[in-house]
A and B are shown apart, each in its own frame.
Chain A
């Protein structure tokens, strides 16, 4: 039997609708890139690119007078990196070990507890983690050690908690993909479980693990609400985690919060310039992640 002419026409109509849906996601990307480029042109046409790329002071919105503004992006980048590095230092070891445990050791009943817990943590709204950083992490863990009420460390720890489920679930997928036969080969040679994990399984899953790390890194760079709540709002040119710091996302949120941003002013355009930097950083990280996964993936049959 052949489809009737009407049903063929229907199909053509539906397929064109579907293509339209699909092009929307392309339009989103094009939209993001165009808006960031055109609007930040308003910023870069008024200030020197070298001031932006080399300056070590960022004071937009800090004084009444626009002439006093300083446009060095480095305090914001260092603020972001500081928090991201702390977050990575927490989420990578914890997440990887959790993944190893889940994939290689965990008995069924512990798995049945751990998996949902990780899912709940992964779905936790970031304002909640930010609140947690402000009311628990800072006062009980950090203030006794001489940290300021708003500091990079608390925000970094909270972002680390946010990234932990991401790292562990992606790394677990990578570990699970390593075939059983490799593990059995280790046991056959007289190796222990530890030998199989450390010397065979983890190296075999390395590309997946690394791309999990990179995804977590991109997520941590772009994280907004935690840093807006816990890190304070002063851009500082330092790597010291004890004091306040402002990240790129934190700056963007602060400008939106202040409500008196007028389109066309330099403060307004600076949002786009910062967002462009942020977008480029995350985009490059995601691209490297995809590259690593494709290039170094070990395919098993």
Chain B
């Protein structure tokens, strides 16, 4: 009556054996393929290590790039540049990312328009995570470097329209062959012709009255007076000193532009990982807080955030380590800077960064720089390794702490 629709075939020992054999072969094949990843990683790390370790020295870490000489070149400005850019990126991306995650996870609105916004943000973040980083680079270029052309078109070496904190001086050589500065008032006058006595300043501070003598007249003999005297009609050309608090609009090709652009790149990653760790906080803890009469925000601030901070930090560090290795958006925003001789002095300064230096050295015509590129990769990987181990330690510590509850 109740016939089964299909019949289990009578066991055939030979076929069963074959199938067992196939299964075993498949298992071994899978393992061999999976081990490929380990092989690739080992080959990659050994190559970089073998090629680069010879040049790794204290001089390399503290030196600066030299165009002609790979042996004397170093990575110092790039290391500092990368760290500064990464800090700016973190300072911008973390508060915004964590804020968005809290909004998405804890404040699911009942209001209809807000609910549409809520869904839109969630959908949007999934899509943003798939946008190529070079496209973010282009966004950063238009939005931060040129500011949509709101402050006039960009021209190299032109003073910015809006700036704060720049000190402009004319520099002139005295008869003692030292340089003194004259504070500039009008930044559009590039060259000042000195026709009358004027207040000047030593580069290391201290104002004095600049003396003038005519060409051909006898020079004063006192060296101090000589250091305060120039010929009538001398030309002084303008330059700008940018202290650490210097700001301007638009940002042009600066570390600030670069950091903000990278912040946009890692923002989806920060949001998604923060969301996951907030979601991991059990609802019972939330209910306990709300039951005591907290507002939702009080509950989030005192219960959910402290419990999820280790997870959020782990995600944040991983996002930052992604930012340190990104080169494409930096290339778009800052251009291929490599020959920078010093670390950035203010937020508006241009800087070298490690990934860009690696890229440029790897493309250099001089093969010496290829080896140097490997050395720079070792430094970069060490930095990434440190960041990742901090993240792993943090995760481990958090797991232990919350397991005991």
Contact = CB atoms under 8 A, between A and B. Distances in A.
Given A11-B296, A128-B377, A279 B135 contact: yes
Interface residues of A, number: 97
A73 interface: no
A8 interface: yes
Given A125-B326, A128-B381, A135 B51 contact: yes
A7 B38 contact: no
Interface stretch (A47-55, A62-70, A249-257): A249-257
A38 to B, nearest CB: 9
A286 B124 contact: no
Q: Which 4 A/B pairs are nearest by Cβ-Cβ distance?
A: A222-B132, A125-B325, A1-B293, A21-B99
B336 to A, nearest CB: 5
B132 A22 contact: no
Provide the main secondary structure of the chain A interface: helix
Contacts of B136: 32
Given A123-B325, A164-B37, A253-B328, A29 B127 contact: yes
Given A11-B296, A249-B134, A286-B130, A97 B103 contact: no
Contacts of B40: 121, 161
Given A123-B325, A190-B8, A278-B132, A35 B297 contact: no
Contacts of A14: 297
B95 interface: yes
Given A97-B30, A132-B44, A165 B37 contact: yes
Interface of A: 1-3, 7-8, 10-11, 14-15, 17-26, 28-29, 31-32, 35-36, 39, 93-94, 97-98, 100-102, 104-106, 110, 113-114, 117-118, 120-121, 123-132, 134-136, 161, 164-165, 168, 189-190, 192-195, 197-198, 215, 218-219, 221-225, 228-229, 249, 252-253, 256-257, 259, 263-264, 271-272, 275, 278-279, 282-283, 285-287, 290
Interface stretch (B171-179, B238-246, B263-271): B263-271
B294 A128 contact: no
A194 B295 contact: no
B332 A252 contact: yes
Nearest to A98: B34
Contact of A17 (B99, B131, B137, B146): B99
Residue among B40, B114, B377 facing the most chain A CB atoms (10 A cut-off): B40
B30 A2 contact: no
A25 B124 contact: yes
A252 B377 contact: no
Q: For chain B, give the interface size range.
A: 35 or more
B249 interface: no
B57 interface: no
A286 B100 contact: no
B128 A222 contact: no
B293 A2 contact: yes
A257 B330 CA distance: 11
A256 B336 contact: yes
Contacts of B51: 135
B358 A128 contact: yes
B321 interface: yes
A136 B47 contact: yes
Contacts of A100: 30
Nearest to B129: A286
Interface string B107-145: 100000010011011001111101111111111001100
B404 interface: no
B138 A272 contact: yes
Contact of B362 (A15, A131, A189, A256): A131
A138 to B, nearest CB: 12
Contacts of A168: 37
B382 interface: no
B322 interface: yes
